[in-house]
Structure formats: structure tokens, C-alpha cells
Structure 1
């Protein structure tokens, strides 16, 4: 499966999980420390926007900050967040569907990075955070094997940096023979036993 298809599938999975999260659950906690369901929906929405800008190579406006709502959610009531996030997710997926976008360098608001690294990293982030949201809101969750492998590769690549920065927890031991996505969860500091994961 191509990296473009994996990215699109990751966005689709995240958007479906956002749509499945009832607004009445937005104050609930999530596996992401200090994130409520609303915070996690916002984080995914912001991720779609950042990925979109990385694909187009547009700079981030100076007013953007990680502690804020995604700019396109700021003036919307929470009941409209899922639709708005879905629209931005679709735009990001469409932008990354062009194979040329994966070539050369882009950015995630800082210094230049290989675009392929950004695309792969965001693919993994979207899948893992979709699982977080599914756990928090009691949704079933299925990850296709190829997408699980992509998530494992992405999480393995960023785990060291994430632990040093404090945004990835200590690795949770997972059997070496477990499906790739369960191992990705363990590498990212999550316990896959919190929710049975369909192996797709």
C-alpha cells in the first residue's frame, strides 16, 4: 500500500472516531494525560491543519499556538467540531495524495524536515490518537494490518525524541508476536489491553 493511501486511511480513521465521539463526552478524560475528549478532538483537528500546511509548504501564521483551539474551531460550538474537523481532514488527505508532496523538504512549524518523514509521522499520530479517542468514548476500533505497520514504524521513529520532550510515556511491554498496531501502542506508552483492537 502506498504512503499516500496509508495517510488517507489514517485520516479517515481519525475522522470517523471524531464523528463517533458524542459531544456529551467532551469533558471526559482520555489516555492522553491532561487531555479531555474535547482537547483530543482539537488536537487531531489541529494536526489535520498542520499536515495540510506541511503539504502545501505554507508557513504557520504567527498567531497559531499549540495551547489554542485549532483556528477553524475557535468560533464554532462543540457540536460543529466533528464536521469542521472532517472537512479539514479531507483537505489534508487530498493534499498528501500527490506523490510529489512527499518529495523534498517541508516543515511542521520549525526547521526544515523531509516531507516523507512528516507524512509518515502524521500517519502514525492520527492512528494512535484515534485509538486514544476510541478508548475514551467507548468506540470499537479496527486497524488494517498495513496501517498498523505504518503506525509502528512512525512511533518507533519518534519515541526517543518524544520521551526526552515528555510527550511520550515509558514504553509498555507488548509481546513481540503481537500485531503491529498493538506494538505501536506499547512503543508510544499506551497499553493495548485498555481496548480490544480488531486486527482487521
Structure 2
């Protein structure tokens, strides 16, 4: 599986989780302990937009911090968030389908980094936060094979920085032969068996 296919599959996971989340549960807690379900949905929606900008080498708009509500969801009824996020997911998928998106450096968060590293990080972001939304709303996420390994690789690449920065909880212990997604979740400080 190539990078673009892996990115596409990770976007599918994120969008499916958002589509399956009832807005009535947006105030519920999520495995991402700092965020409610609705906040994770918005964070994922924003991530889709930021990933598109990185692939296209577009600068972030003035005032974007990446931590606020996704700009395209502001003043939009929560019942419409899934459709808006799905449309953004398609734009992001198209942007990363271009092999050039993975080459060289791209701007992200005020600095430049290798585009392939941004892609890897966002693949992990989409699946892990997609799992957050799914787990909190009674959905199941099936991730195996190359996508699971890509998520694990992406999480492991940023986990030390994430724990140091406080946006990952301490690593959770799982069996060494646990599925790749479970190991990725554990490395990001999540209990793969979390339930609401």
C-alpha cells in the first residue's frame, strides 16, 4: 500500500466515526481525556483542513491555532458537521493523492517539516481520534494490516514529544503481540479497552 492509499484509508476511518456520532452525544466524555466527543469531532475536522493545506503548501489562515473549532464548522448546526467534515475529507484525500504532496518540506504549525512526516502524523491523528469518537459513541473501528502499522509508526514517531508536551498521557501497557492499532493507542496514552 502506498502513502496515498494509507492516507485515504485513515480519512475513511475519521469520516466514518464522525458520521456515526450522534450530535446528542457531543457533550459526552471521550478517551481523549481533555476533550468531549464534540471537541474531538471538531479537532478531527480541523485536522482534515490543516492536512489539506500542508499537502497543497498553503499557509494557515491568520488566527488559526489548530486548537479552536474547525473554521468551516463555526455557526454550523452540529447536525451538519458530518457532511461538512466528509466534504473536507474528500478535499484532503485529493490533495494527498498527488505524489508531490509527500516530497520535500511543508509548513505546519508555524514551522516547516518533511511533508512525509506530516502525512504520517496525520494518518495517525485521523485514526486515533477517529477511534476516540467511535469508542465514545459505541462504534467499532476495524484497522489492520498496513494501515494499522502506519498508525503505529506515526504514533511512535511523535509519542515522546507528545508525552513531554502533555498532549499524550503516559503509555498504557498492552501485550507485545497486540494488534498494531491497540499498540498505537497504548503508545498515545489510551487504553484500547476504554468504554464510556
* Alignment-derived partner of residue 10 in structure 1: 10
Q: CA deviation at 1:189?
A: 0.6
Q: Assess if the C-alpha contact under 8 Å between 1:182 and 1:192 holds in 2.
A: yes
Q: CA deviation at 1:145?
A: 1.7
Q: CA deviation at 1:67?
A: 3.8
Q: Kindly indicate whether residue 151 of structure 2 is the aligned counterpart of residue 151 of structure 1.
A: yes
SS in 2 for 1:193: coil
TM-score, structure 1 as length reference = 0.95
In the alignment, structure 2 segments of 5+ residues that lack a partner are none
* Alignment-derived partner of residue 117 in structure 2: 117
Q: Assess if the C-alpha contact under 8 Å between 2:149 and 2:180 holds in 1.
A: yes
* Alignment-derived partner of residue 77 in structure 1: 77
TM-score, structure 2 as length reference = 0.97
Q: Kindly indicate whether residue 75 of structure 2 is the aligned counterpart of residue 51 of structure 1.
A: no
**CA distance, structure 2, for counterparts of residue 80 and residue 185 of structure 1:** 29
In the alignment, structure 1 segments of 5+ residues that lack a partner are 196-200
**CA distance, structure 1, for counterparts of residue 94 and residue 72 of structure 2:** 18
Number of positions where the alignment pairs a residue of Structure 1 with one of Structure 2: 195
* Alignment-derived partner of residue 97 in structure 2: 97
Q: CA deviation at 1:69?
A: 1.2
Q: CA deviation at 1:33?
A: 1.6
* Alignment-derived partner of residue 183 in structure 1: 183
Q: CA deviation at 1:144?
A: 2.5
**CA distance, structure 2, for counterparts of residue 33 and residue 166 of structure 1:** 12
SS in 2 for 1:140: coil
Runs of 4+ in 1 over 6 A off after TM superposition: none
Q: Assess if the C-alpha contact under 8 Å between 1:123 and 1:150 holds in 2.
A: yes
**CA distance, structure 2, for counterparts of residue 162 and residue 169 of structure 1:** 8
Q: Assess if the C-alpha contact under 8 Å between 2:106 and 2:115 holds in 1.
A: yes
Q: CA deviation at 1:66?
A: 3.2
- Comparing 112-121 and 26-35, the one that deviates more: 26-35
SS in 1 for 2:35: coil
* Alignment-derived partner of residue 26 in structure 1: 26
